[in-house]
Chains A and B, each alone.
Chain A
């Protein structure tokens, strides 16, 4: 388990990979983002996407899934107050294989809760061509190691 004490600027972690299917894209979009370009190739044809593309929120949820789902790199997360500067840089298309690069920007102790600290991470989601498809600055509350 990775605790607050283990983090310092430039600590880097990789997560994934995960391949996105057309079915996944459409299933997410039907529930959370039913815009035509997230539902079918036809609906995307005359748009800047050109063919079916994932909702940006789906890419964000898949990024969370990769970061949280690796049993060998569990971060003692206590949740997050939010994020800054999220950019959807390129579309995610069916068949794309994503992975995540997490780099610690800085850390500070919590003023109000001595059992945790706040860390900021640069999160980048990349596709199989090493293009960054999404990036954001994550703000995370991380537990200190018990007993310290």
Chain B
């Protein structure tokens, strides 16, 4: 029985020997025109390479000396390199995913299932033979044979194989979220009886393998539109190049086919053509590295377009527990006495509220009280629905904290001065007041607050600059919701929300043409997850939720939506920037090739040779070499994606237009000149 290494999954670099080696081999395999036809731009380069190679061989056969044919040979070689570089870009982008898929696949094949037969006996069958509805038993140390629901038993399960998180999680039946288990994870304590919920080939692991491997990758809407633009431009350049021959003929001399092919390859957008699919694959891969599985590239792209983000308050914006934020003494009790009583009432309290009281005492400088309190033979009374209080009896003296009315009733007295006002104030601000009682004296209040996660406010400000509206969803009453919304800095909120309200909100936003993203984990989130343009299901969530969403976050971190949006934007930006760069590059190439092509007919055109390239041959060769090398040079950028800064569309555009537009015009002038110096230095031309 295989046991999966319990370790946080590493984020492997793509530049490891194994992945690079595989990518190099793949670049050769991808030369097959049957694969390459999907990328018409690079296919044209390959045809050009083939044509120049044939011409070179023909010339050699006709007795042309090696010395004279040297130029043709070099052009042909560099054209082949251009194709190989483009193939390599795609292969390396796929590399990491393929390596991960291999690891996951091992998990799948080695699993044995212990199926419970109808007569109650257990048989061992390969995991691949399980069908929906089968019942299995999984013991401690065994692999989960498939996706399923726990129907019996309580156990800890290590999900590192899927999530990379080594801390085991508790699984038990009947709870919406904790009852779902995933094939490939390991039971590390006790045993579970599960009902299989997915047929082989449809399991989460299968989907995950297909996704990280990129087998299910389809072109996204923007990619399709961009491809049309690039194909159109390629066709225009084909017209330009083909008509140049008659124009040259009119002018007195034909241009050699090799030069025409070189010109065509330089003009068509090979840079973006070679990198386009790598950018898309790398975008998906970046998500996988952050433990998010996107079910389609379309979802990643949609993430960049999100206008409205629906966020559950609990767990996303706040910690989900109400934490002590303030001690308010009343009736002249004095702060030290109140704190001491509150600490005593909370020392044995394991709830987050109880712990937060101690934390607050420390923060407010009463550390000594917390550390010196001696409980002796204290008897702890935990919180109960009837009493609505918790606390201790030490030597007959009871110290309690609890709901204000419950504490007042227990004290038997009237509310001390200020208590009612203060507790109303706290409720008004959306908080919860806890009264503290020592004996029969009510000493004051603890202000329990729904505490906003640190840094969340800044992230929302960031979203606002990105142009994204954040809406908080909560079951709280409007007053509480408003307070938290204001503190967290969300743009809007939906209070007392029921699951169907979420759905309605999404529909309303979408009717206005907005794209909506949300996270969810429960079965009742499923319809909304399906309706949202980007629905991120938590991995801890139910099967229904995971199937409804178009992304699954293996870390089950709802704030990750914000990163997902960033990755989506980065993907689109990288495409746009490299397209701009690619097209802007052409200007310099004209200045290199045109004077060279017409050097004999119109020597005057040497005035256009602004780079002062040494000879016509070296000019054309340098342009072709630049054109090939720039693909390789940009592979890291394509894989990494260009930096996204939430500075608003205007400044962002100005920045990128300057770098990739203007830069795209200037860089090749410098690059081609530099290559020309080298080409002449080592006498290639």
**Are A and B associated in one complex?**
no
Q: Which residues of B contact A (CB under 8 A)?
A: none
